[in-house]
Amino acid sequence: MVWFALRHPRQAWQFLRAPSALSHLLGGLAAPAEIKGWMREAGAVTQEINRRLHEASWKPGQSSGSTDSQDRGPVLYAVTRALRPTVVLETGVANGSSTYYFLSAMKANGKGTLHSIDLPPGTDTTSEYHKADMTAIAQGHGSGWLVPAELRAPWTLHLGDTRKVLPKVLESTPKLDLFFHDSEHTYEAMTFEFNSAWPCLQPGGVLGSDDVGWNRSFFDFVAANHLPTVRVGGFGWTRKPLPLKV
């Protein structure tokens, strides 16, 4: 952590203040101390993910491109614990780190279903992984292989391009509590996903995205809709306003 703070002081500060910033965004659904506790609770998931990745003949220097770092995944876990969502939709699965955090948090909540969208393995020819001659998914495995059998019951994996698959998934699950983007990080694809998911998000629902620094899509989206934001490392979070009480 000290090494990380020295190399990335701004991000380290964002992680440090994540519990209070997220608590504020969530309108007091959970106190900062609770969020901090859940981030700690997620440490067991991080350990298990890293153990499984290590066993999966991961190439040296290969990036899983995923949320399985000490702080990032636990933020997904804590947001899910605090929000207690009924329906979650994520785009971009790869090995399944984010999927694992969402499903673990839902199991602890005792409720929730997850829909995930990912390209079929081997067809992602445009991403940064492909360009760098790396695969985002460990060889010989399929999307979400990290997720253990005992967490899979509330999970549906939809394979295909998000531009085609997302509208269909939203047709069948028109009420979302949490949407998380981590698929194709182009301005066009991210804007498409945010604009598609937003009308389906329940009041008080949360929209998150990884890698918001790659282009301006997240910032343009929140500015156009006058929304509050929280940055935690590469993540950007916003929340759909609740109707005003009169």
Ligand X SMILES: C[S@@+](CC[C@H](N)C(=O)[O-])C[C@H]1O[C@@H](n2cnc3c(N)ncnc32)[C@H](O)[C@@H]1O
Of 35-43, 54-62, 64-72, 195-203, the window that binds ligand X (rule: CB under 6 A) is 64-72
CA atoms of 216 and 1, how far apart (whole Å): 29
Query: Beta 113-118 vs 235-239: how paired, if at all?
Result: unpaired
Cβ-based nearer residue to ligand X, 95 or 238: 95
Site size with ligand X, rule: CB under 6 A: 22
Among 117, 151, 178, 200, binds ligand X (CB under 6 A): 117
Among 22, 184, 221, 239, binds ligand X (CB under 6 A): 184
Q: What stretch of H or E contains 237?
A: strand 235-239
Of 26-34, 50-58, 90-98, 216-224, the window that binds ligand X (rule: CB under 6 A) is 90-98
Residue closest to 27 by CA, chosen among 177, 224, 198, 206: 206
If one counts every other C-beta atom within 10 angstroms of the C-beta of residue 170, the result is: 18
Tokens (6 digits) for 195:
């604009």
Tell me the closest approach of the beta carbon of residue 210 to ligand X, in angstroms: 7
Cβ-based nearer residue to ligand X, 108 or 157: 157
Sheet containing 87-91: give its strands across: 155-159, 113-118, 87-91, 176-181, 201-209, 235-239, 230-232
Closest residue to ligand X using C-beta atoms: 66
CA atoms of 76 and 204, how far apart (whole Å): 17
217 binds ligand X (CB under 6 A): no
Question: What length does the chain have?
Answer: 246
Tell me the closest approach of the beta carbon of residue 96 to ligand X, in angstroms: 6
98 binds ligand X (CB under 6 A): yes
105 binds ligand X (CB under 6 A): no
CA atoms of 205 and 194, how far apart (whole Å): 13
Partners of 135 in beta bridges: none
Residue closest to 206 by CA, chosen among 172, 243, 245, 236: 236
Tell me the closest approach of the beta carbon of residue 100 to ligand X, in angstroms: 8
Of 3-11, 102-110, 115-123, 194-202, the window that binds ligand X (rule: CB under 6 A) is 115-123
Of 22-30, 63-71, 168-176, 231-239, the window that binds ligand X (rule: CB under 6 A) is 63-71
209 binds ligand X (CB under 6 A): no
Which residues of this protein are in contact with ligand X, per CB under 6 A? 65-67, 91-95, 97-98, 117-119, 124, 127, 136, 161-162, 182-184, 189
